[in-house]
Structure 1
Amino acid sequence: MKQVPLAFCFMSRKRTDDYYEVLRAIDRLLPAQIALQTCVVDFEAGVWRAIQDRFPGTVIQGCVFHWTQALYRKIQELGLQRAYNERGDVHHFLRLVMALPFLPPEHIEGTYHYLDQRVQTDELNEFMDYVWRQWFRHPSFRVRNWSVYMLSVRTNNDLEGWHNRLNSRMNSRGPVPFYLLLLEMYKEATNIPLQARLLTEGKMQRIHRKRATEMNGQLFQAWKQYNDGLITTSQLLRACAELYGPVAN
């Protein structure tokens, strides 16, 4: 499923109230009330609370790419990156932890405890404590919100990529005057009707690299084997860990 930008907003703060006002403004501009069902976002608590307040009942799905990146930053912070890059036992253990979102949500916490019992170093113990505090006991980020089991849309990377390309184009020669940025955003906005029509007609698709396409196919194959009772939860976790995670240098 292709994701395209449909609204642009300049913000000077990132509080829950600020995000709420943005969502309310978008809602008021549309001819019909938004019937939002699912929203894929990164892990910014203020955004989550604003969505829940403005659109109660909406399923909020955390971006698995941002989830993994958060864990990888913690790995670097704790001095575990060298061990991760060596592709030994520590590498394989950390990959298993980073593959937790690919399990059914009801089996994630039990699998975490199983992995936690295998920890033998202070650094890994601190890492697992972080995972527990941030991802199992956070008041906003529930396990069901960051499990991507059987989901085809698992990230918001299309929009992240668009934003990065815009920044690269506009900031190539230093700070950009605000009026030039507005002109660039206007150009982007003129593309929206065409993009909407192409999406409706099924003529605009995500561009998948060969590796990503193969990985997605293998992932759904592993999920099917699990649903058919051919592999266990541990085997599913290992299969997903082999497919997904930051590349070791």
Structure 2
Amino acid sequence: MPEKSLREAYSDALVTTVNTLRDDHDEEEIGAAIPSYDNVRSIIQRVRTEVRQPSPTTRQEIHLENQWTRTLTGATFLLFDDGDEDRILGFSTNDLMISLCNASTIFKDGTFRVVPKLFTQLYTLHGYYRGQMIPFACFLLPEKTEETYVRMFNLIRNHAISLGRTFNPRAFQLDFEVATLKALEQTFPTADLKGCFFHFSQCHWRKVQALGLVVHYREPEIRRFIRSATALALVPLDRIDDAWLEINSESPSSEHAAYEKLEAFISYIIQTWLENDSVFRRHLWNHYRNFGARTTNHVEGWHQALNRIVKKRHLNIFEMISHLQKQEEKFRLDMMRLRMGQPPRPITKKHRILNARLINFVQEFETGEKSLLEYVHGVAYNIQ
């Protein structure tokens, strides 16, 4: 039997669908529910291209046109295509770029699992839109270097100018990657840079693992000591030294089996976070009285959700763009919903309770109901 053309297959399916629905629905309802031939053809062409398109072997070989440069609704999506061997691809829309420029604080993070092998990471910039966190721009970056990040930020700045806007956020919240920090300091010298509290605690935990302290972490005094060091991020800047002295006074004695490992952990805390010439200066990681967003967990949550949806490592470039297009569609509808007056998604009950406890601890500390060490212990008990 000869294969049917796409037009013939569509016509046959249309007749079958109409005949099936005719008894229970009027023609107007049926017509509204059935996609047009042009829409069906576009979807099939997209799938065919995604399946059949040979994957490029170098960044220079990547050739994007037509549907790979646009959103699912036809808006320009590939806003940035810069470089040759060090090529950067950036996906956003002009509307999203305007919202990015309007955001006072930018949250950023990178992910690696799903990224095409020709690139190092998928780097995203998020911000609040009417109370909800939205991914405004996604970049496929060739390297994790200061130079690459500076290029990316300058691309955004120049595009903002072309839209009659300025990209100069009041603040950035970031992980503790030195290259990102230096790029932001160079490109946005007046911006308030804040390290993510979750990444701060993760840095401590990775050091605990590296030093072989995990087995001792089960002991209450060891666990409290390590968590108290992390709680320094929620101590007033001018009381950090006092708090550290009190925390140190509770460190296990030299008779403890983990003494040498704990001494190495203490040296790490001092050299990395507390000394005047530390790379990560205190104001970068201090979140005292910050009852808003202390972490980039929502950004990491977006990356984790993308990883769950994709279910494979290292997509090809066309699969990657296809998933980004679907994400743009989802959040475009979210933004439309917010503009229509619907409320943003609420924060989780767990985070509401934690925030309420931290606010209460701060009030008790500032009124003298809790000593400095009692305050640190209270915070340490509640952080993970």
TM-score (norm 1): 0.89
2:364 corresponds to which of 213, 225, 240 = 225
1:48 corresponds to which of 165, 170, 181 = 181
Note if 1:8 corresponds to 2:138: yes
Note if 1:213 corresponds to 2:352: yes
1:89 corresponds to which of 215, 221, 230 = 221
Q: Which amino acid aligns with 2:356?
A: G
Match of 1:102? 234
Give how far 1:54 is off: 1.2
Give how far 1:46 is off: 0.9
Higher relative contact order (CA 8 A, sep 6+): 1
Give how far 1:48 is off: 1.1
- CA spacing shift, 1:205–1:105, aligned 2, 3 Å: farther
Tell me the SS of whatever aligns to 1:7. strand
Q: Deviations over 1:3-29 (max 9, x none)?
A: 221100001101111001111111222
1:165 corresponds to which of 296, 305, 313 = 305
Q: Which runs of 4+ in 1 moved over 4 A?
A: 197-202
Q: Deviations over 1:188-231 (max 9, x none)?
A: 223444444555657213431x3322111111111122223322
- Determine the C-alpha separation between the residues in 2 that align with 1:49 and 1:230: 41
Q: Which amino acid aligns with 1:146?
A: W
- Determine the C-alpha separation between the residues in 2 that align with 1:139 and 1:212: 31
- Determine the C-alpha separation between the residues in 1 that align with 2:135 and 2:243: 37
Note if 1:143 corresponds to 2:261: no
- CA spacing shift, 1:39–1:199, aligned 2, 3 Å: farther
Contact map agreement 1:105 1:147 (CA 8 A) in 2: yes
Between 1:91-100 and 1:125-134, the stretch displaced more is 91-100
Q: Deviations over 1:78-133 (max 9, x none)?
A: 121111123x2112211211211111112113322333344332111110100111
Q: Which structure shows the higher helix fraction?
A: 1
Where do 1:52-67 residues align within 5 Å? 52-67=185-200
Note if 1:239 corresponds to 2:362: no
Contact map agreement 1:16 1:47 (CA 8 A) in 2: yes
Tell me the SS of whatever aligns to 2:189. coil
Structure 2: 5+ residue stretches without partners: 1-130, 254-258
1:73 corresponds to which of 198, 206, 209 = 206
- CA spacing shift, 1:139–1:96, aligned 2, 3 Å: closer
Contact map agreement 1:3 1:156 (CA 8 A) in 2: no
Contact map agreement 1:99 1:240 (CA 8 A) in 2: yes
Between 1:233-242 and 1:191-200, the stretch displaced more is 191-200
- Determine the C-alpha separation between the residues in 2 that align with 1:202 and 1:126: 52
2:262 corresponds to which of 112, 124, 144 = 124
Contact map agreement 2:175 2:196 (CA 8 A) in 1: yes
- Determine the C-alpha separation between the residues in 2 that align with 1:36 and 1:226: 33
Contact map agreement 1:49 1:140 (CA 8 A) in 2: no
Between 1:66-75 and 1:226-235, the stretch displaced more is 226-235
How many percent of aligned residue pairs carry the same amino acid? 23
- Determine the C-alpha separation between the residues in 2 that align with 1:58 and 1:15: 20
Tell me the SS of whatever aligns to 1:66. helix
Match of 1:181? 320
Q: Which structure shows the higher strand fraction?
A: 2
- Determine the C-alpha separation between the residues in 2 that align with 1:193 and 1:132: 45
Structure 1: 5+ residue stretches without partners: none
Rg bigger for which structure? 2
Give how far 1:76 is off: 1.5
- Determine the C-alpha separation between the residues in 2 that align with 1:3 and 1:135: 29
Alpha-carbon RMSD across the aligned residues, in angstroms, is: 2.0
- Determine the C-alpha separation between the residues in 2 that align with 1:27 and 1:103: 35
Contact map agreement 1:19 1:47 (CA 8 A) in 2: yes
- Determine the C-alpha separation between the residues in 2 that align with 1:27 and 1:192: 23
